[in-house]
Structure 1
Amino acid sequence: MGNFLVKTAINGVALWIAAWLVPGITFGTSPDTWAVVRTVAIVALIFGLVNAFVRPVAKLLSLPFIILTLGLFVFIVNALMLQLTSWLAGQFQLAFHVQHFFWDAVVGSLVITFVSMILGFFNPADD
């Protein structure tokens, strides 16, 4: 349970940094800091669940494209997971949105992957 919470916190930080760096990814414009923190936490949980359950199936189904592109298609799969998270957040009335699929979602997924990788090095639960 502790490892799940740490990974969710890492996802939350990565999503927040992506929203800060990529103009097409937003967490809304609420002046209430706690509302934004709550939204980031819930979206991080949704993102973690999407990556745990949907991403493996998507990668398996797109395996021929992943092989054909020497792994580069994984970036498209990651962008799709971010876009799916945006859609699910909208279904729960959360203020998280990814504007355009290709540029915003792909660049956002690259930022999230990079930040998660860096923060994952400091995750004591992975030992």
Structure 2
Amino acid sequence: MNLLIRLLVSTIIVFALAYFLPGVHVADMSTALLVAVVLGLLNTFLKPILVILTIPVTILTLGLFLLVINAFIIMLCAYFIREFTVDGFITALIFSVLMSISQSVLNGLFVSEK
């Protein structure tokens, strides 16, 4: 049940950020759902590999390079999904930061820790 709630929260966040953030475009709510699923899959399978490969750079930048990895994941998701577009790297970076903050807040409100 928590997985469905997290997926719904992510879908709503993607749709809302695409509405308010210039440079991020989502065709409709079903596309936002697809983006949430693909982002979840990329974060589950690809992100750990990227984090391990970039440990030296991440240590040198005191963890700030993880923001670059998140932006890369967003741009990769936009590459895979035609109806989801991100205009540039800075926009993907802002989108990923806002999405992370929003997910932390909303998952804390709606998802139980059982």
1:116 has 2:108 as partner: no
- In structure 1, runs of 5+ residues without a counterpart are 29-35
Kept in 1: contact 2:15–2:29 (CA 8 A): no
Residue of structure 2 equivalent to 1:12:
11
Residue of structure 2 equivalent to 1:59:
51
SS in 2 for 1:23: coil
Scaled by the length of structure 1, what TM-score is found? Answer: 0.83
Query: In angstroms, what is the RMSD of aligned CA positions?
Result: 1.3
Measure the CA separation in 1 of the matches of 2:20 and 2:53: 31
Partner residue of 1:71 out of 50, 63, 77:
63
Residue of structure 1 equivalent to 2:25:
26
- In structure 2, runs of 5+ residues without a counterpart are none
Residue of structure 1 equivalent to 2:84:
96
* Aligned positions, number: 114
Alpha-carbon distance, 1:108 to partner: 0.6
> Deviating runs (4+, > 6 A) in structure 1?
none
Partner residue of 1:40 out of 21, 27, 32:
32
